[in-house]
Amino acid sequence: MNKINLLDDELINKISAGEVVERPMSIVKELVENSIDADSKNITIEIIDGGIPYIKVLDDGCGMNEIDAVLAFGRHATSKIKSTDDLFNIGTLGFRGEALASIAAISKVLLKTKEENSLYGTLINVEGGKILKKAKCGCEKGCSVEVKDVFYNTPARRKFLKRPSTEAMYITDMVAKIALSRPDISFKYIKDKRMEFMTSGNNSVNEVILRLYGDELYSNLIETEYNDEYMNIKIFLCKPSYTRGNRNMQILFVNGRFVKNKIYTTAVEEAYKTLIPVNRYPVVITYLNIDPKNIDVNVHPTKLEVKFSDEKEIFDSIYKSIKKCFK
Protein backbone atom coordinates (compact mmCIF):
# COMPACT_ATOMS: atom_id res chain seq x y z
CA MET A 1 0.00 0.00 0.00
CA ASN A 2 1.25 3.49 -0.83
CA LYS A 3 1.49 6.04 1.92
CA ILE A 4 -1.20 8.69 1.94
CA ASN A 5 0.10 12.17 1.13
CA LEU A 6 -1.59 15.46 1.76
CA LEU A 7 -1.60 17.45 -1.46
CA ASP A 8 -0.08 20.89 -1.32
CA ASP A 9 -2.16 23.98 -2.13
CA GLU A 10 -0.58 24.56 -5.49
CA LEU A 11 -1.53 21.09 -6.66
CA ILE A 12 -5.02 21.30 -5.17
CA ASN A 13 -5.60 24.57 -7.02
CA LYS A 14 -4.39 23.06 -10.27
CA ILE A 15 -6.74 20.10 -9.87
CA SER A 16 -9.83 22.12 -9.13
CA ALA A 17 -8.91 24.61 -11.84
CA GLY A 18 -9.95 21.76 -14.10
CA GLU A 19 -13.53 22.07 -12.89
CA VAL A 20 -13.78 25.82 -13.33
CA VAL A 21 -11.49 26.45 -16.28
CA GLU A 22 -12.14 24.19 -19.21
CA ARG A 23 -11.08 26.69 -21.86
CA PRO A 24 -10.42 30.45 -22.23
CA MET A 25 -14.17 30.99 -22.54
CA SER A 26 -14.64 29.77 -18.95
CA ILE A 27 -12.16 32.40 -17.76
CA VAL A 28 -13.98 35.17 -19.61
CA LYS A 29 -17.29 33.97 -18.16
CA GLU A 30 -16.02 33.90 -14.57
CA LEU A 31 -14.34 37.30 -14.84
CA VAL A 32 -17.34 38.98 -16.42
CA GLU A 33 -19.67 37.43 -13.83
CA ASN A 34 -17.44 38.89 -11.12
CA SER A 35 -17.66 42.30 -12.80
CA ILE A 36 -21.45 42.03 -12.90
CA ASP A 37 -21.57 41.00 -9.24
CA ALA A 38 -19.46 44.07 -8.44
CA ASP A 39 -22.28 46.28 -9.79
CA SER A 40 -20.36 47.50 -12.80
CA LYS A 41 -22.07 49.70 -15.36
CA ASN A 42 -19.38 49.37 -18.02
CA ILE A 43 -17.47 46.18 -18.79
CA THR A 44 -14.79 45.83 -21.48
CA ILE A 45 -13.67 42.40 -22.64
CA GLU A 46 -10.56 42.06 -24.75
CA ILE A 47 -9.08 38.86 -26.18
CA ILE A 48 -6.24 37.94 -28.51
CA ASP A 49 -5.94 34.65 -30.43
CA GLY A 50 -8.93 32.98 -28.83
CA GLY A 51 -7.91 34.17 -25.37
CA ILE A 52 -5.08 31.64 -25.10
CA PRO A 53 -2.22 34.18 -24.87
CA TYR A 54 -4.32 37.11 -23.60
CA ILE A 55 -7.63 38.00 -21.95
CA LYS A 56 -8.52 41.25 -20.25
CA VAL A 57 -11.70 42.16 -18.41
CA LEU A 58 -12.01 45.72 -17.19
CA ASP A 59 -14.90 47.04 -15.10
CA ASP A 60 -16.01 50.12 -13.19
CA GLY A 61 -17.58 48.21 -10.30
CA CYS A 62 -16.97 48.47 -6.56
CA GLY A 63 -13.35 47.27 -6.74
CA MET A 64 -11.43 45.79 -3.83
CA ASN A 65 -9.16 47.11 -1.11
CA GLU A 66 -5.61 45.83 -0.72
CA ILE A 67 -6.50 43.12 1.80
CA ASP A 68 -9.44 41.74 -0.16
CA ALA A 69 -7.47 41.80 -3.39
CA VAL A 70 -5.01 39.32 -1.87
CA LEU A 71 -7.73 37.25 -0.22
CA ALA A 72 -9.64 37.02 -3.50
CA PHE A 73 -6.98 34.66 -4.87
CA GLY A 74 -7.39 32.25 -1.97
CA ARG A 75 -9.40 29.07 -2.30
CA HIS A 76 -13.00 29.44 -1.12
CA ALA A 77 -12.48 33.17 -0.88
CA THR A 78 -15.80 34.82 -1.54
CA SER A 79 -17.58 37.92 -0.36
CA LYS A 80 -20.87 36.44 -1.50
CA ILE A 81 -21.58 33.77 1.11
CA LYS A 82 -21.04 33.93 4.83
CA SER A 83 -23.27 31.14 6.10
CA THR A 84 -25.20 28.15 4.86
CA ASP A 85 -28.38 30.27 4.93
CA ASP A 86 -26.89 32.44 2.20
CA LEU A 87 -26.47 29.38 0.02
CA PHE A 88 -30.20 29.16 -0.43
CA ASN A 89 -30.76 32.85 -1.10
CA ILE A 90 -28.09 33.42 -3.63
CA GLY A 91 -28.67 36.42 -5.85
CA THR A 92 -25.20 36.74 -7.31
CA LEU A 93 -23.59 34.83 -10.13
CA GLY A 94 -20.54 33.40 -8.41
CA PHE A 95 -20.43 31.93 -4.96
CA ARG A 96 -18.04 29.03 -4.86
CA GLY A 97 -15.16 31.40 -4.32
CA GLU A 98 -12.75 29.52 -6.52
CA ALA A 99 -12.72 31.23 -9.88
CA LEU A 100 -9.82 33.59 -9.28
CA ALA A 101 -7.79 30.93 -7.46
CA SER A 102 -8.40 28.46 -10.27
CA ILE A 103 -7.62 30.92 -13.05
CA ALA A 104 -4.42 32.08 -11.34
CA ALA A 105 -3.34 28.46 -10.86
CA ILE A 106 -3.12 27.81 -14.59
CA SER A 107 -2.09 31.18 -16.03
CA LYS A 108 -0.32 34.48 -15.35
CA VAL A 109 -2.67 37.03 -13.84
CA LEU A 110 -2.28 40.76 -13.37
CA LEU A 111 -5.02 42.31 -11.24
CA LYS A 112 -5.42 46.03 -10.71
CA THR A 113 -8.20 47.32 -8.53
CA LYS A 114 -9.32 50.34 -6.56
CA GLU A 115 -12.27 51.18 -4.39
CA GLU A 116 -14.13 54.43 -4.87
CA ASN A 117 -12.69 56.49 -2.01
CA SER A 118 -9.25 55.04 -1.80
CA LEU A 119 -6.23 57.08 -2.89
CA TYR A 120 -4.29 54.20 -4.38
CA GLY A 121 -5.17 51.09 -6.22
CA THR A 122 -3.57 47.69 -5.68
CA LEU A 123 -1.68 45.69 -8.24
CA ILE A 124 -1.17 41.96 -7.82
CA ASN A 125 0.74 39.64 -10.10
CA VAL A 126 0.09 35.91 -9.66
CA GLU A 127 1.65 33.19 -11.79
CA GLY A 128 0.85 29.52 -11.44
CA GLY A 129 -0.88 30.25 -8.13
CA LYS A 130 2.09 32.13 -6.60
CA ILE A 131 1.88 35.82 -5.73
CA LEU A 132 4.97 37.32 -7.37
CA LYS A 133 4.27 40.97 -6.77
CA LYS A 134 1.97 43.18 -4.77
CA ALA A 135 2.21 46.94 -5.01
CA LYS A 136 0.29 50.18 -4.86
CA CYS A 137 -0.70 51.51 -8.22
CA GLY A 138 -2.67 54.28 -9.80
CA CYS A 139 -5.88 53.16 -11.42
CA GLU A 140 -9.53 54.02 -11.81
CA LYS A 141 -12.25 52.75 -9.48
CA GLY A 142 -13.12 49.17 -10.39
CA CYS A 143 -11.14 46.18 -11.40
CA SER A 144 -9.04 45.03 -14.32
CA VAL A 145 -7.86 41.47 -14.69
CA GLU A 146 -5.36 40.49 -17.36
CA VAL A 147 -4.81 36.79 -17.93
CA LYS A 148 -1.84 35.59 -19.98
CA ASP A 149 -0.75 32.18 -21.28
CA VAL A 150 -3.70 30.01 -20.31
CA PHE A 151 -2.60 26.48 -19.27
CA TYR A 152 1.10 27.40 -19.66
CA ASN A 153 1.93 25.12 -16.72
CA THR A 154 -0.53 22.34 -17.53
CA PRO A 155 0.53 21.28 -21.04
CA ALA A 156 -1.74 18.24 -20.99
CA ARG A 157 -4.76 20.53 -20.75
CA ARG A 158 -3.41 23.01 -23.24
CA LYS A 159 -3.28 20.21 -25.81
CA PHE A 160 -7.06 19.92 -25.64
CA LEU A 161 -7.64 23.50 -26.76
CA LYS A 162 -8.98 24.01 -30.25
CA ARG A 163 -7.66 26.44 -32.82
CA PRO A 164 -7.58 30.09 -31.66
CA SER A 165 -10.39 30.97 -34.08
CA THR A 166 -12.59 28.26 -32.54
CA GLU A 167 -11.77 29.30 -28.98
CA ALA A 168 -12.57 32.89 -30.01
CA MET A 169 -15.95 31.76 -31.33
CA TYR A 170 -16.82 30.21 -27.96
CA ILE A 171 -15.89 33.46 -26.24
CA THR A 172 -17.80 35.68 -28.65
CA ASP A 173 -20.88 33.54 -28.18
CA MET A 174 -20.59 33.66 -24.39
CA VAL A 175 -20.03 37.43 -24.28
CA ALA A 176 -23.03 37.96 -26.57
CA LYS A 177 -25.24 35.90 -24.27
CA ILE A 178 -24.06 37.77 -21.20
CA ALA A 179 -24.68 41.11 -22.96
CA LEU A 180 -28.19 39.93 -23.87
CA SER A 181 -28.84 38.90 -20.29
CA ARG A 182 -27.92 42.35 -18.96
CA PRO A 183 -29.17 45.12 -21.27
CA ASP A 184 -28.68 47.52 -18.34
CA ILE A 185 -24.88 47.14 -18.54
CA SER A 186 -22.73 48.50 -21.36
CA PHE A 187 -20.45 45.80 -22.76
CA LYS A 188 -17.57 46.46 -25.12
CA TYR A 189 -16.02 43.43 -26.78
CA ILE A 190 -12.66 43.71 -28.54
CA LYS A 191 -11.31 40.70 -30.43
CA ASP A 192 -7.78 40.72 -31.87
CA LYS A 193 -7.60 44.53 -31.49
CA ARG A 194 -10.87 45.04 -33.37
CA MET A 195 -14.06 46.13 -31.70
CA GLU A 196 -16.65 43.43 -32.38
CA PHE A 197 -19.58 45.04 -30.63
CA MET A 198 -20.63 47.49 -27.98
CA THR A 199 -23.96 47.75 -26.20
CA SER A 200 -25.24 50.96 -24.71
CA GLY A 201 -26.47 49.78 -21.33
CA ASN A 202 -29.71 51.72 -21.74
CA ASN A 203 -31.77 48.67 -20.76
CA SER A 204 -33.28 47.94 -24.16
CA VAL A 205 -33.09 44.28 -25.16
CA ASN A 206 -34.18 45.25 -28.66
CA GLU A 207 -31.17 47.45 -29.05
CA VAL A 208 -28.79 44.76 -27.75
CA ILE A 209 -30.16 42.24 -30.25
CA LEU A 210 -29.76 44.75 -33.06
CA ARG A 211 -26.17 45.64 -32.10
CA LEU A 212 -25.15 42.00 -31.64
CA TYR A 213 -26.82 40.28 -34.52
CA GLY A 214 -27.49 43.04 -37.02
CA ASP A 215 -30.41 44.43 -38.92
CA GLU A 216 -31.38 41.37 -40.94
CA LEU A 217 -32.06 39.16 -37.94
CA TYR A 218 -33.60 41.99 -35.97
CA SER A 219 -36.10 42.92 -38.67
CA ASN A 220 -37.30 39.31 -38.78
CA LEU A 221 -38.20 39.15 -35.09
CA ILE A 222 -41.63 39.28 -33.48
CA GLU A 223 -42.12 40.10 -29.79
CA THR A 224 -44.62 38.41 -27.53
CA GLU A 225 -45.34 38.14 -23.81
CA TYR A 226 -47.01 35.74 -21.44
CA ASN A 227 -47.88 36.34 -17.79
CA ASP A 228 -49.53 34.28 -15.09
CA GLU A 229 -49.23 34.05 -11.33
CA TYR A 230 -46.41 31.53 -11.71
CA MET A 231 -44.10 33.36 -14.12
CA ASN A 232 -43.71 36.04 -16.76
CA ILE A 233 -42.13 35.48 -20.12
CA LYS A 234 -40.96 37.78 -22.90
CA ILE A 235 -40.08 36.14 -26.20
CA PHE A 236 -38.32 37.48 -29.30
CA LEU A 237 -39.00 34.96 -32.03
CA CYS A 238 -38.26 34.85 -35.73
CA LYS A 239 -40.74 34.67 -38.55
CA PRO A 240 -40.82 31.13 -39.99
CA SER A 241 -39.21 32.45 -43.18
CA TYR A 242 -36.03 33.26 -41.24
CA THR A 243 -34.21 30.20 -39.87
CA ARG A 244 -30.73 29.06 -38.96
CA GLY A 245 -28.66 25.94 -39.52
CA ASN A 246 -28.11 25.22 -35.82
CA ARG A 247 -29.65 25.64 -32.36
CA ASN A 248 -27.26 28.39 -31.31
CA MET A 249 -29.93 31.06 -31.34
CA GLN A 250 -32.47 29.23 -29.19
CA ILE A 251 -31.58 31.21 -26.13
CA LEU A 252 -33.15 31.09 -22.69
CA PHE A 253 -32.58 33.45 -19.78
CA VAL A 254 -34.09 32.48 -16.45
CA ASN A 255 -34.16 35.30 -13.91
CA GLY A 256 -31.54 37.14 -15.91
CA ARG A 257 -29.15 34.23 -16.37
CA PHE A 258 -28.35 32.35 -19.55
CA VAL A 259 -29.23 28.69 -19.02
CA LYS A 260 -29.80 25.51 -20.93
CA ASN A 261 -32.98 23.53 -20.50
CA LYS A 262 -34.26 20.59 -22.52
CA ILE A 263 -37.96 21.35 -22.03
CA TYR A 264 -37.45 24.82 -23.47
CA THR A 265 -35.71 23.54 -26.60
CA THR A 266 -38.40 20.90 -27.09
CA ALA A 267 -41.23 23.43 -26.71
CA VAL A 268 -39.59 25.79 -29.22
CA GLU A 269 -39.01 23.06 -31.77
CA GLU A 270 -42.47 21.54 -31.40
CA ALA A 271 -44.03 24.98 -31.90
CA TYR A 272 -42.13 25.58 -35.14
CA LYS A 273 -42.26 22.00 -36.37
CA THR A 274 -44.90 22.38 -39.05
CA LEU A 275 -43.75 25.88 -40.02
CA ILE A 276 -40.11 25.43 -41.03
CA PRO A 277 -38.10 22.87 -43.02
CA VAL A 278 -36.40 19.94 -41.28
CA ASN A 279 -32.81 20.61 -40.17
CA ARG A 280 -33.53 24.31 -39.89
CA TYR A 281 -33.79 26.00 -36.51
CA PRO A 282 -35.62 29.10 -35.37
CA VAL A 283 -34.25 32.10 -33.51
CA VAL A 284 -36.07 32.33 -30.19
CA ILE A 285 -34.71 34.51 -27.42
CA THR A 286 -36.70 34.07 -24.22
CA TYR A 287 -36.61 35.95 -20.94
CA LEU A 288 -38.38 33.96 -18.25
CA ASN A 289 -38.86 35.28 -14.74
CA ILE A 290 -40.03 32.88 -12.08
CA ASP A 291 -39.88 32.53 -8.31
CA PRO A 292 -36.40 31.06 -7.59
CA LYS A 293 -38.13 28.50 -5.34
CA ASN A 294 -39.46 26.83 -8.47
CA ILE A 295 -36.11 26.24 -10.09
CA ASP A 296 -32.96 24.37 -9.28
CA VAL A 297 -29.89 26.04 -10.78
CA ASN A 298 -27.28 23.77 -9.35
CA VAL A 299 -27.86 20.64 -11.34
CA HIS A 300 -24.62 21.36 -13.20
CA PRO A 301 -21.27 22.49 -11.76
CA THR A 302 -20.95 25.40 -14.16
CA LYS A 303 -24.52 26.38 -13.25
CA LEU A 304 -25.60 26.51 -16.88
CA GLU A 305 -28.45 24.04 -16.62
CA VAL A 306 -31.67 24.57 -14.69
CA LYS A 307 -34.49 22.30 -13.69
CA PHE A 308 -38.05 23.56 -13.27
CA SER A 309 -40.31 22.11 -10.62
CA ASP A 310 -43.24 22.16 -13.06
CA GLU A 311 -41.88 21.27 -16.47
CA LYS A 312 -45.28 20.82 -18.11
CA GLU A 313 -46.29 24.35 -17.19
CA ILE A 314 -43.08 25.69 -18.75
CA PHE A 315 -43.54 23.63 -21.90
CA ASP A 316 -47.15 24.75 -22.32
CA SER A 317 -46.51 28.45 -21.81
CA ILE A 318 -43.57 28.59 -24.23
CA TYR A 319 -45.33 26.41 -26.82
CA LYS A 320 -48.59 28.36 -26.70
CA SER A 321 -46.89 31.77 -26.71
CA ILE A 322 -45.07 30.89 -29.92
CA LYS A 323 -48.07 29.21 -31.57
CA LYS A 324 -50.35 32.19 -31.00
CA CYS A 325 -47.99 34.40 -33.04
CA PHE A 326 -48.55 32.33 -36.15
CA LYS A 327 -52.31 31.91 -36.12
Ligand X SMILES: Nc1ncnc2c1ncn2[C@@H]1O[C@H](COP(=O)(O)OP(=O)(O)O)[C@@H](O)[C@H]1O
Contact residues for Mg ion, defined by CB under 5 A? 34, 94, 99
Q: Would you count residue 79 as binding ligand X (CB under 6 A)?
A: yes
* Least distance in angstroms from the C-beta of 29 to Mg ion: 9
d(CA 190, CA 170): 14
- Tell which residue, 154, 191, 115, 177, has the closest CA to residue 23: 154
Give whichever of 94 and 142 is closer to Mg ion, judged by the CB atom. Answer: 94
Q: Would you count residue 139 as binding ligand X (CB under 6 A)?
A: no
Cα–Cα distances in angstroms (integers) from residue 130 to residues 46, 70, 103, 316, in the given order: 24, 11, 12, 52
* Least distance in angstroms from the C-beta of 143 to ligand X: 4
Beta-carbon count within 10 A of 119 CB: 7
d(CA 179, CA 175): 6
Give whichever of 34 and 317 is closer to ligand X, judged by the CB atom. Answer: 34
The burial class, CB within 10 Å (0-12 / 13-18 / 19+), for 94 is buried
d(CA 209, CA 61): 24
Q: Would you count residue 147 as binding ligand X (CB under 6 A)?
A: no
Give whichever of 30 and 60 is closer to Mg ion, judged by the CB atom. Answer: 30
Partner that binds at residue 95, options Mg ion, ligand X, none, CB closer than 5 to 8 Å by kind: ligand X
- Position among 45, 55, 58, 100 found at the interface with ligand X (CB under 6 A): 100
d(CA 289, CA 253): 8
Do residues 28 and 114 make contact, with C-beta atoms less than 8 angstroms apart? no
* Least distance in angstroms from the C-beta of 98 to ligand X: 6
- Position among 60, 98, 127, 167 found at the interface with ligand X (CB under 6 A): 98
* Least distance in angstroms from the C-beta of 76 to ligand X: 9
Do residues 231 and 289 make contact, with C-beta atoms less than 8 angstroms apart? yes
Q: Would you count residue 44 as binding ligand X (CB under 6 A)?
A: no
Q: Would you count residue 94 as binding ligand X (CB under 6 A)?
A: yes
* Least distance in angstroms from the C-beta of 87 to ligand X: 12
> Which residues of the chain form contacts with ligand X (CB under 6 A)?
30, 34-35, 38, 59, 61-64, 72, 77-80, 94-101, 143
